[in-house]
Every structure is written in C-alpha cells, then in structure tokens.
Structure 1
C-alpha cells in the first residue's frame, strides 16, 4: 500500500527544488543582462578620437602601436584610425573638408596648413600641448596669423646628400659648416678632370624634375639673404635678379660640362636605383632632405651622407616639419585630442615606439634620450638638423595652390634649360603662373 504522506512530501521537495532552480536561473539571466548592459555603457562612455595620416607601412605600423599604447595608459580613450598612402590622402581630405567632416586629429603638411587654417577648419591649439622643447623656428611654421594651428610631429631640414664613398676616393673633406656656393662650384670644376666620362660632382640645380623641386632654387636665393619663394603672408617672393643669375650660372656649368647635360637631368627619377642620378653614380651631390636619407641608404647602405646647404651672404639652410598634427575646429573632443598630441611628441615611450618613422623627433629631450639607440643613418639625420637649426632661414607654410605652382616651375625651368626661353622670360612666366594659380 502506497504511503500518500510520503508521496506528498517528495512532491513538495521536488517542487521546491524546481522553483529554486528557476529562481536562480532568472537571477543569473538578470545578472548577465546587467553585465552586458554595463559593458555596453562602458564602451559607449569611451571617447573615440578619429585620427588620420599618410605615409609608408613603417609609419602606419609605428603609429598604430603608439595609439594602442596610449589607449592602455588612458582606457577611456579609443581611436578610429584611417591611414593611407600620399597618393590618395589629400583627395580624401579634400572630400572630408568640403563636407565639414574632418577627423578630430589630422596629419597636415606645409603645403596645406595655410589653406585649412584660413578656411577656418582648424582649432587654435592651447596650453595642453607643451612645445617648449621644439626648436622655435620649427614650431613657428605651424603658426598662421599669430595663432598656433598645428604642431610639428617630425623634424626635417633641407640638405645636400652626397656620395661618401666617392668623396673618400677623391680625398674630399666636407667642412663641418658645409661649403659656400663659390667653394662648391669650384670643387665641381676641380674634380671634373678626375672623373670618368659622363660622371659629375654636382647635379644641375636649376632644373626641376620630380614633384616639388623649386627648393633647389630656394637654397640659392636664401643664401643671398632674399628668403624663400613665398613670404610669411604667402605672397610671391622670387627675386628676379637672383633668379636670372642662378640660371645663367648653371647654363655656364652645363656648357663647361661641369654638371650633366639637360637631357640627363630631366631623365632623373627620384629613388629609382637605375634612374636616380645619385644612386646610379652619374652625380655625387644633390639637393635632398635629412629625413629622406633613409630612402637612398636603403638602396646602397652606408654609401651616402648629409651636409648643410651651401652658404653665401648667409646659409641656404631652412628647417621644416616633416608633418604636423592639427585638430579639427569641429572636434567634440579638442582637449583630449591635444593631450594625445602632447604625449605623442613629448613622451619618451612614445618616442621609442615611433622611432624616426616621421623623421627625427621634434622634442630635444626625447631625441637626446633616444640618441644612443639610433642607427648611423638616424644619427646623421639628427646631426644635420642640429647643425642647420642655428643658421637656418625662416620657413613659412605654403599658400593654397603652391603644389600646382611648383609643377609649373618644373616645366618653366626645363624650358630655360633647353634654351627655349631666357631666364628673364622664365621669371615673367613664373610670376604670371603664380597670379593665375596662387594669387587668385
């Protein structure tokens, strides 16, 4: 006979256990839901800084590591990076600029800073960024109309790149302060009889070929105390008498066979192992930049060196940022963006991560701290900038349209080189093109 009381008790215990399990399950679901909601809330509370830049894969990798390091130091900061090569960068930035949708932090350069600042799309930067350890001339380039709109994030200086191996063979010693223009020209004449046919000490600096090469002329004009191609206000500043004299000088050097024939010069293709006239041994000295030494060293390691630009009445050297960081005027997180830029340029750990992926460090403290770790090429780059800094002419950001004008300069300089127009006619044409492209 079944004991009904026992059955009832078993049913009660079973129901109680089931109820408890259901209750615990419900509580568990509730906790999981709360945790998910909390995670979402924390994710949503993070400040997301949009940041964009251009460059090589080496720069991309280094910058991404730096962003990751900063987020670990500041868990409330996340980044939305957008990076690409230079060939597409300014096309995309132009689209974002037109849509008033610039990222919080953007890489900008000397050819675009003036345009974006005058258009009212960049924020005036404040005390959240410490620039005390940046060379004043370098920092000043980010200043437009008395307001700091951009911060250098890599240093650079115009220079002469030269073949150290050939200089050693010829017994040529580079003065610590570089050559004067007269000394350099005389050296090219003295060395010519010692060279094989088709070899030259000096490139023809009067002819522009690749990208922006008006700076070949600028180092001559700056040495005469006449400044660069544009002044602080972005106005045309090419001096006619100096320009004519410069072109007449190199026409004479071509005639004497001291610099390559015009057809050899215009066939030059920068950084191409076979077509670059420095890399293929046609010339031993060319206009270059401190930050670009690594590119040619990668083709022929240890063969090339740097010297400061030639002087005359003064040095032809000038400093310029390799790039800037700027903050969009429409950024909702301007304070956070500026604090990140401050870390990017002033923190030693950031410097270790970035290396010279953007050119030599702009903070002297960071550069001095990291210098024992630099390679020979990197040490040359830093040393050149330090030599140029005390003697450099002022450099000003370029006005809107300068890149297009520089392309016209190349064409006009080649017409002069081929004898199709005179230097005087070339100057008049340059001034006309400036008015059409930049002056408007």
Structure 2
C-alpha cells in the first residue's frame, strides 16, 4: 500500500495535466496577459473630452488593453513631465510640442518611430513625407504629427460691421493692420484692435516674412542678423499698446483666459489670433459664428507654414512600445476617432481621412479645412524644430515684451538685450 502511495505521488510530480492535486493558482493555457498603457497630454476641455472618448473607443475594440490617462494645462504639463523624465518613468505615450522635441529627443528619452512605420504598425500610406518631417531630428522620427495647423486671424463679422470697417482680405498688410487701429482710435469708442500676440510666435512669423528665422539652422545663435527687424516689429506693438489698441498694462491684471474677461469674447476687440486648430473651441467659447482670415502681409506666403499641431511620442522607457504604436495608428487613421476629435489638434495628416471627413464637417470645421487648403498653396516649408534652450530664449523674449508693453524699455535696447541673452543661451549647443 505504501509503495502504491509513493508511486502515485511521483506521478503527480511529473504530470502537467493537473490530474493530481490543485492547480488553481496557475493561469489557463489560453490566458493572454493584459496590456496597460499610460498617456499624457495638455489641452482644453474639448480636447480632453474628445481624447478620452477615443481612448474608450480603442479599449472597446481592444479589450485586453487598459489605458490610464493624465491631462493638464500647458505649463503645468511640462512641469509634471520633467520629474518623470528625470526618473525615467515617462508615460508610454507623450503629447509632444515642437518647442520641446529637440530637448527630449537629444536626451535619449524618446523612441524612434521609424521601425513601427516600416513594420506597418503605423500606416503612413496616405500621409506625405512633408507631414512627417516636422517630427524628425536628423534621421530619427521622435514625434508623430497629429494634425496640420497654420497661424490665423479670427474675427466676428458683425463687430467689423458695427465699426464700419472692412474685414481683412487675403492681401492685407501690417500697415493695414495698424491703419485699422488708427481708424478705431479716431472713432473714440474704446475698441481694441486685437488681443495678445504671443511674442515668440508672431515675431518668428514676421522674421519669416523678411527671409529670416528666429533661430539659426544649427541652433547655436539667433537666425537673423539685422536687429532692425526686431525694432520694426516690437516698435509697432509698443505703439499700438501706447494707443490702447492692444492689451495695455492694466488689463493684464485680469485673467484674460476667461471669456468674460477677454475683450475679444466681450465683442470689444476686432481680432483674435492663434493656430487654426483652436478655431472650434474659440467659436464654442464665443457663442456666435466667427470667420477666419490669414495673417497680415506682405509676403505672408513666406511667413505662413503648415505646422504640426502637436505630436505623439513614445517614451524610450516604455515597456509597451508596439501597443503604443498601434494606438497612434488608431488615432490618426481611424475615421470614427477623427469624427470625435474634429480636427482639434489640426486638420488630419492622412489625406484619406481628411477626404472621408468632409461629408461630416460642421460649418466651423469646414472653414478650417478650407483655410488649410489655402495655406498649402500660399506658404513655405517650416523652420527646423526649435533647438535645445529655445524655451529659455522664449522666456527672455517674453520678459522683454512685458517691459516693452509697460514702456520700460525701448525697442532698440530690447533688441540688443535679447540678442545678448539669447546667443549666450544658444551657445551652449556648440559641440
């Protein structure tokens, strides 16, 4: 009897069929491990809600995938991301801006996406090389373009009509822009010409109009040699502020990010500014129909460019790079997902998706598509990605812009200080 029991025990030790003893702690043969992804982005309420809907769509179609997400405002986003980068615990998918691409890419924090395109995990058959190029550093693709944008002016036709002023056409100029301000001043109604023009964005546009750029191609100096361009652009901004036609100092004490405080949303400013992907949310906040216009010329075909709205990057530390690539593919190539996203990150980079969406476009989004079509025919290639240190240079420019707007410094002195400080920052890129 004892020999029989020992034989039975030995049989149980060598069998894998589970016929002896309990095997409930072992996974079934057909069990598949679930995949967890983490994704982070910045954005408005519309972007946040739309992105969450697309994440839920992906999870429904891929039940073994669970996606954790985190979103915040732009400045907070980068503050939160920095310690994650330092600890090498970045989310699997990171929404990336062109101004930070070089910084994160050169620190070996981002995965080259080229292999996932070659393998077919990300389908680029209907996406042009030009639409992909903005996410490249050298031969490495560190950011996948999520949409195409362009600088734009936005206005309420009714406000122009009330002021007896013709809305801008495709051939208007900076001189026309300032002349509209003169007309408003003569009317004495206290109407603003326009809202805040972010200095680094619109000065860079002005430089491009004049055949220059904000940064040199190698990223170690400023990209323009003639400070006259700085003086011309910021001299005009200072004059307009002094005439109280753009934000004067006392209004900066208000939270102009709130519609009830911003003169444009109150019908007290003729023009707003930004990138075309912001048009939908701007209309929603404004509550009435708005119209798009190009930026002032001349030579806006030099100044304008098609800009990647933003990118998705995959972190180098991700353990789920292939699944992250599949999600990016879904995000850019799925029609239903793009119906939800409504071009809020930019007009789709896929020509196929762009065409398929046209029957479903709401009037506001149709305006954006038409405007981007126009810019495609009236623009120049964008500048290379901002170099490492660009965010510090931007900080310097904004500080000087504040001083200019408060008339604490002359445009000539500001131009001199900007060059000195910017070149000192950028010189650290010399290898």
1-structure distance, mates of 2:111, 2:282:
37
User: Contact 2:46–2:281 at 8 Å: present in 1 too?
Assistant: no
User: Contact 1:51–1:79 at 8 Å: present in 2 too?
Assistant: no
2-structure distance, mates of 1:412, 1:376:
40
Shift, 1:39, TM fit: 5.9
Indicate the residue corresponding to 1:362 in structure 2. 349
Runs of 4+ with >6 A deviation: 33-36
Indicate the residue corresponding to 1:325 in structure 2. 312
Map of 1:187-336 to 2, 5 A cutoff?
A: 187-190=180-183, 192-193=185-186, 195-202=187-194, 205=197, 213-227=199-213, 229-235=214-220, 236-238=222-224, 239-253=226-240, 257=243, 259-260=245-246, 262-263=248-249, 266=252, 269-315=255-301, 316-336=303-323
1-structure distance, mates of 2:369, 2:218:
30
Q: Does 1:70 align with 2:58?
A: yes
TM-score for the superposition, normalised by structure 2: 0.80
Shift, 1:118, TM fit: 0.6
Q: Describe the SS at the equivalent of 1:201.
A: strand
Q: Does 1:166 align with 2:191?
A: no
Which of 98, 102, 122 is the matching residue for 2:110? 122
Which of 371, 374, 384 is the matching residue for 1:387? 374
1-structure distance, mates of 2:130, 2:160:
32
Shift, 1:110, TM fit: 1.4
C-alpha deviations, 1:271-294, integer Å up to 9, x for none?
A: 323432322333202332212223
2-structure distance, mates of 1:251, 1:91:
31
Q: How many residues align?
A: 399
Q: Describe the SS at the equivalent of 2:99.
A: coil
RMSD: 3.2
Q: Describe the SS at the equivalent of 2:51.
A: helix
- Note closer, same or farther for the CA distance 1:352–1:279 as it changes in structure 2 (3 Å cut): closer
Shift, 1:346, TM fit: 1.3
Q: Does 1:42 align with 2:31?
A: yes
Q: Describe the SS at the equivalent of 1:111.
A: helix
Indicate the residue corresponding to 2:14 in structure 1. none
Indicate the residue corresponding to 1:3 in structure 2. none
Task: Give the unaligned 5+ runs of structure 2.
Answer: 1-17
User: Contact 1:219–1:310 at 8 Å: present in 2 too?
Assistant: no
C-alpha deviations, 1:149-202, integer Å up to 9, x for none?
A: 111113322111223212234251442x35232333334434543x34312434
C-alpha deviations, 1:127-169, integer Å up to 9, x for none?
A: 2323354465442221112321111113322111223212234
- Note closer, same or farther for the CA distance 1:202–1:48 as it changes in structure 2 (3 Å cut): closer
Map of 1:76-155 to 2, 5 A cutoff?
A: 77-86=64-73, 87-126=75-114, 127=117, 128=120, 129-134=122-127, 136-155=129-148
Deviates more, 1:357-366 or 1:344-353: 357-366
Which of 417, 420, 426 is the matching residue for 2:408? 420
User: Contact 1:234–1:397 at 8 Å: present in 2 too?
Assistant: no
User: Contact 1:161–1:289 at 8 Å: present in 2 too?
Assistant: no
Which of 363, 374, 378 is the matching residue for 1:376? 363
Q: Does 1:185 align with 2:171?
A: no
- Note closer, same or farther for the CA distance 1:414–1:49 as it changes in structure 2 (3 Å cut): closer
1-structure distance, mates of 2:49, 2:260:
29
